[in-house]
């Protein structure tokens, strides 16, 4: 893999333009910024090629609200979704704050992972020109639920008017796990733009968990890595990703499917030759 540039800074946002929201009501109509808890801006300086030694291990967390029995599962799911809504703006503010911090406390809003994929936080409207013109983004994979991007990001129609295709694969924030089917859809979407020499911006709120899981699946497919290798490779570039146990499990399922498909193709090729 060729040189991989990393991304700087944090998008400029005016806090006065944020919507007024009740903690129990969830987000109400707003005007400008976006959400999740982590990273920041773009990239210009070339970043190193994939190292031969493995990057540091990403943190793996536990979903704090999962119930143990069937009776608790439905209530737990609703509670998790509600908590994600309540914490949307506080965690987004934290993401913006970390993007403005200097030194080791700083977190990039987004990072380029390879020549095709960028991984990051919400693509705020103020970032549109940079992503389309500077990063050659022609596809966007949105792992957020609709309420997270409604007021802060381009709509699917607005992206289309800019020549960018959006694929939304809604996943609950904080505790959600992308489905195997959605991982497959997202990877095929990214591969389409890879074949055209164009870039895809993969994001959730902070570019830490949901979108990092999707990017790991892409790396498993493209580079024939194990889930652990894919996560470590992302961590080397974007050290604050946070892959939860359920997300790692679905990556293992995805890896099994990819491995089985490759073995089947190899068997077919051998029998034909």
Q: What is the set of active-site residues?
A: 204
Dist CA 226 CA 37 (whole Å) = 27
For the record, the structure tokens of 100 come out as 């403005």
Orientation angle between helical segments 227-237 and 210-223, nearest 10 degrees: 120
Dist CA 156 CA 164 (whole Å) = 9
Instruction: Tell me the pairing of strands 199-203 and 137-142.
Output: parallel
Neighbour count for residue 126 (Cβ, 10 Å): 15
How far CA 49 is from CA of 6, 53, 211, in Å, comes to 11, 11, 22
- Helix residue ranges, H only, the chain: 70-86, 88-100, 128-129, 146-149, 156-161, 180-194, 210-223, 227-237, 245-272
Provide the edge-to-edge strand list for the sheet that holds 199-203.
110-112, 117-120, 199-203, 137-142, 165-168
Task: Identify any residues that bridge with 111 across adjacent strands, giving them in sequence order.
Answer: 119
The answer to whether 205 and 144 have CB atoms below 8 angstroms apart is: yes
The CB-side HSE value for 163 (13 A sphere, CA atoms) comes to 10
For the record, the structure tokens of 259 come out as 């491995």
């Amino acid at each position: 893999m060729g040189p991989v540039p990393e991304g700087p800074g944090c998008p400029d946002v005016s806090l006065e333009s944020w919507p007024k929201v009740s903690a129990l009501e969830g987000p109400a109509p707003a005007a400008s910024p976006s959400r999740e808890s982590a990273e920041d801006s773009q990239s210009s300086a070339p970043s190193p090629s994939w190292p031969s030694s493995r990057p540091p291990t990403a943190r793996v967390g536990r979903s704090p609200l999962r119930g143990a029995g069937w009776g608790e599962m439905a209530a737990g799911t609703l509670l998790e979704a509600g908590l994600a809504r309540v914490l949307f703006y506080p965690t987004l503010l934290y993401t913006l704050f970390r993007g403005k911090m200097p030194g080791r406390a700083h977190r990039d809003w987004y990072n380029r992972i390879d020549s095709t994929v960028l991984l990051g936080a919400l693509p705020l409207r103020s970032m549109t020109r940079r992503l389309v013109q500077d990063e050659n983004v022609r596809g966007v994979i949105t792992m957020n639920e609709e309420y997270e991007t409604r007021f802060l990001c381009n709509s699917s129609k607005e992206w289309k008017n800019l020549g960018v295709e959006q694929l939304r694969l809604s996943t609950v924030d904080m505790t959600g796990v992308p489905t195997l089917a959605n991982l497959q859809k997202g990877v095929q979407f990214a591969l389409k733009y890879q074949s055209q020499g164009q870039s895809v911006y993969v994001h959730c709120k902070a570019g830490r968990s949901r979108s990092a899981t999707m990017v790991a699946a892409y790396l498993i497919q493209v580079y024939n890595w194990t889930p652990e290798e894919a996560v470590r490779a992302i961590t080397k570039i974007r050290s604050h990703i946070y892959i939860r146990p359920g997300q790692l499990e679905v990556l293992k399922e995805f890896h099994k499917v990819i491995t089985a498909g490759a073995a089947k193709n190899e068997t077919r090729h051998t029998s034909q030759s």
